Amino acid sequence: MNFMNFAYKEALKAFKKREIPVGAVIVKNNKIITKSHNNRQKKCNVLGHAEINAILKAEKKLKDWRLDGCILYVTLEPCQLCQKVIEESRIDQVIYLLEQDKSKIESNKYKQTNDCNDIKENYQKMINSFFQKLRE
């Protein structure tokens, strides 16, 4: 199953809501636990990042803040805030689609996928379009 495709669909939801288009999916035992996307603008909440939203939902669903055995699929390399929350939640691995220029992750827990080139191309166009509209 291509979990990154589900993360991409979440990013598309954020894009349609005029949020920064980032989507996240948490998987455990090859099964999707939660899906989420950015909602900072709508919720007026600085913590409304896709990764944090997904982690909060997973904790509630699993009834545990420890997300051992979970993999986070996210469309954009996590920011430093999200990296810290990911570390604290004990997620085993993070797989992201696009790299952010400004944040270099120094952990072998994080891996940029080399698969999903069709999704990566479409996502790159979406994120470029989003930021281009902001500048207009």
Q: Which amino acid is at 64?
A: D
Catalytic residue among 10, 19, 51, 77: 51
59 is catalytic: no
Residue with tokens 């919720």: 43
DSSP per-residue codes, 62-94: HT-S--TTEEEEEEE---HHHHHHHHHHT-SEE
Strands 70-76 and 23-28: antiparallel
Catalytic positions, please?
51
